[in-house]
Structure 1
Amino acid sequence: MLHQLLVNFPLWTSLTAILLAQILKVLWNFIVTRSWDWNWLLSSGGMPSAHTSAVSSLAVAVGLYRGWDSAAFAVSSVLAIIVMYDATGVRRHAGMQARVLNQLVDDFAALLGELRHIKDFSPRETGTRLKEILGHQPIEVFTGAWFGIAVALVMYWLWG
């Protein structure tokens, strides 16, 4: 059983794609901000979409390994479509709502501070901030999809 896990081409292709995409997020963030932020290794959102990279590489790996007409390819392709839709839809909008809620909390806390004449009242005293980067811009998903496809093709060539 362990041997079967170790030689599972679609599994290792998908895991490689998600790991490399997370590393690319760190590099991309450095290019944009000129500072290293290693938190991107474990963060959702950002460029490229690691979830999309994982599922697109999985679908291509299954297609290459089991055949483009296999049920496994159909299942992995539908899964990829759902993940990509979710990344640009539901998760992206949840992040936008978190941004608005965080701003409301900050504004309310500032108002309370002014009303109570508390000079060093901080909005952070109101509690934990919601995570604002959850989903992706369409270009991040598009890039993640093509990155995942490329990883699958390279892994197929290397896997032999």
Structure 2
Amino acid sequence: MTEEIGRDLERVEEYEHTTSRASFLGENKVELSTGLIIAARYADKMRRIALVALGRLVPREVIVRDVAELNKQLYDILVNKMKVGKLDVVRIVVDATYKEAEKRLVFSNIRVTRYYTEEECKGLAEGDLKKRVEQLEKENNKLKDELKKIRETLSAVIREAE
């Protein structure tokens, strides 16, 4: 057993008493939530929560094996799809169903929420506003050009009519 998993097992009892981040949705189905964490800690947190929530229902080897697979999926979502930085704050919620006959956990309905600081929100809003202003300026210039062409055409028609 790796040092990391051993440390997690030691913390399971503490987690049971301090933080319940799991909601039972039905027989052998649990919703696991990391709460607010920095992205760099998601794998440890998810493993610990699964060990706490499912430790009495599912063998530890199964939890560790299947959560490792889930963490690979989460890495892809966080790093490749969402471009989340290591120190960004996220919340991960996932449904876990234990398939007893197959001796495996099936994870579904993965939800990752990224939280932004006030400064990041202002930056995003300003960036969106700048893009919108540029877009409106382009449209305005296009309409001015069309109006100029219409005036020229109208002036030519009036000159011919005189």
Higher strand share: 2
TM-score by length of 1: 0.25
Higher helix share: 1
Higher Cα Rg, which structure: 2
Q: Which has the higher contact order (CA 8 A, sep 6+)?
A: 1
TM-score by length of 2: 0.24
